[in-house]
Amino acid sequence: MPKFDKPIVRYALVILTVSLFACGDDDDTVTDTSPADTSVADTSEDTSAADTEVVDTSTVDTGSPPATAVVDPTLFLVDGLATAITEVECMLSDGSTAQCYSITTNSVPSDHESGPWCPTQITDGPEAGGIWPEGGVAHDVDGAFVENLATFYDDPAWEMYNADGSINFTETAEECAAAARPDVDPELQNHCVQCLPEYVETDLQITFVIPKEPSLAATPQDIRGNMGVAFNGVEFAAAAPTDAILGAYTLAPFDDCGGHINLNAGYHYHAITSDCLTEVAQDDGHAPLIGYAMDGFGIYAMLDADGEEPDDLDGCRGHTDGVRGYHYHVSGAGENMIIGCHAGLTVQSGRPPRP
């Protein structure tokens, strides 16, 4: 897979507009971060009992985070923000109120290019396509991978290429939409699905509301919809529905940075690969910080400066240390999972989970 040389940053200046309000107080207002003519998607996590599955609490580290484990809004890249970050009062998943940051982004990575996703010929090398997670491995989606899909999945119905060696792939926004929906258009089965940046509305904005000071929940919750946000403003998404994708004899590869495009949500990550994201280095050799989960806890790369992965991670892929408090480490790019669950309190939104 091609590599991207990305800078290690410690601080990126963001103008922080503070706007506080209290429930029932008519004199205080929250800054509206969504222009009236702009499409905004609310990505705060839905934590209603009807929509949320419970994760076994015995697998989660329940240590209390120190006071230093707070969200730092100055780490977000200015180029990834649609508006200034604001501080608002919010209601958490346990019914309590807290101060939160409202972060509205344009869902376009400002620190790396996106794509490619689909090769066009069975002779194409790995640089022509992205990656596909299967069995814990991030497989290069090159021409040979597409050519051998019938053998790889032990199913002769896979026929994604033609007699002349050309590969079937979506070539328009209409084909992208028809192939990405749950009931895939039969004419687009056996196609590689790639939705290009130019297919997405130019005014699309995504709003993340996360607690300013994270706190552990009594019961961790499975991730339904949005998982977190990178410092470039791009969403860390829940697992891709790979079974449904494969069931229609399609592939929807991630690019070599672990992301692809949904027409309604823009570019988002399902996997974390090396050398793509803006990272905040740690003085003690700990893995770098790459963003925050929707519960406000930090998300760190998988490996530390010595190439080692922590051996004490809980079921959410989190643990506690004396410097960072409770925090997460991402999983391998082939797992189709960035972190395992939310160990902390998320913000109530009433929004149904995205499919």
Is the Cβ–Cβ distance between 33 and 39 less than 8 Å? Answer: no
Question: How far lies 292's CA from each of 35, 71, 230, in Å?
Answer: 25, 8, 7
- Phi and psi at residue 326, to the nearest 5°: -70, 140
pLDDT in tens, the chain (355 residues): 444 344 444 333 333 333 323 333 333 333 333 333 333 344 444 433 333 333 333 344 444 444 447 999 999 999 999 999 999 999 999 999 999 999 999 989 999 999 999 999 999 999 999 999 999 999 999 999 999 999 999 999 999 999 999 999 999 999 999 999 889 999 999 999 999 999 998 889 999 999 999 999 999 998 977 899 999 999 999 999 999 999 999 999 999 999 999 999 999 999 999 889 999 999 999 999 999 999 999 999 999 999 999 999 999 999 999 999 999 999 999 999 999 999 999 998 744 344 3
- Picking from 280, 324, 341, 330, the residue whose alpha carbon sits closest to that of residue 303 is 330
**Angle at CA 316, nearest 5°, toward 312 and 320?**
45
| pLDDT score recorded for residue 24 | 35
- Picking from 137, 139, 77, the residue whose alpha carbon sits closest to that of residue 106 is 77
- Picking from 241, 274, 281, 242, the residue whose alpha carbon sits closest to that of residue 258 is 274
| pLDDT score recorded for residue 225 | 78
Taking the domains of the chain in order of start, what are their residue ranges?
16-109+206-237+271-344
Measured in whole angstroms, how far is the alpha carbon of residue 335 from the centre of its chain? 13
Determine the Cα–Cα distance for residues 90 and 97; give it in Å rounded to an integer: 6
Does this model's pTM top 0.75? My answer is yes
Residue 38 structure tokens? 């702009």
